Amino acid sequence: MSDAATSDTDPTVAAPAASPAPSNSAGGVAVLATVLIGALVAVALGAFGALHEPRFFAVNVAGFSSGTAAKAWLATLVVTLALFQLGSAFAMYRLIPSGRVPSWMTTAHVWSGRMAVLLSIPVTVHCLYALGFQHSNTRVLFHSLFGCLFYGVFVTKMLLLTRKGLPGWVIPIAGGLLFFVLVYVWLTSALWFFLTSGLTL
């Protein structure tokens, strides 16, 4: 009798071990670890803003009447670049039925993101150094919370971009969340400034 037949009928003969099923646990752990790092960044910024004594002034940008005006216009430029980021991402993911994606789209997407981050740095410095973490009313409180959250989500997305083998939905979700947080920060700061003070330079 062959060994194969013996293994089928003899309970003392062990059956061949089954191959382990592929698991996404490693990718899930990587995503969770990255999210935790981003959360730590957001908490650290909030803690600094809360513990730092506000100076109520910051380095002004040439051409603007005040640091607050500079902050509002720079934030508006950041949101404008973010809108291009959103549109170019939709095009690259073939979510816009517009035919072939131009060859320059990926490069423009990357550099518009870099420019947006650079323009956001003076805004962040003004918020943290001049004002700190404020909570005088609901608008200010949520602006402070979402401002810290923005950089937490940004760090999370940048780290996720270095990971290989992630599910296809991870980066779009991170990018969409980053865009949503940025727009909320703009609505509670720059738009509020323009509505109360006019389009002041």
Residue 117 is part of which domain span? 34-197
Is residue 3 one of the residues assigned to a domain?
no
Q: For residues 98-107, give the mean pLDDT.
A: 78
Is residue 77 one of the residues assigned to a domain?
yes
CB burial class (10 A; 0-12, 13-18, 19+) of residue 186? buried
Is residue 15 one of the residues assigned to a domain?
no
**Could you give the number of structural domains in the chain?**
1
Is residue 17 one of the residues assigned to a domain?
no
Residue 169 has pLDDT above 60, yes or no: yes
Is residue 138 one of the residues assigned to a domain?
yes
Residue 192 burial (CB count, 10 A): 15
Is residue 29 one of the residues assigned to a domain?
no
Q: What is the pTM of this model?
A: 0.74
Task: Report the pLDDT value the prediction gives residue 24, as an integer from 0 to 100.
Answer: 57
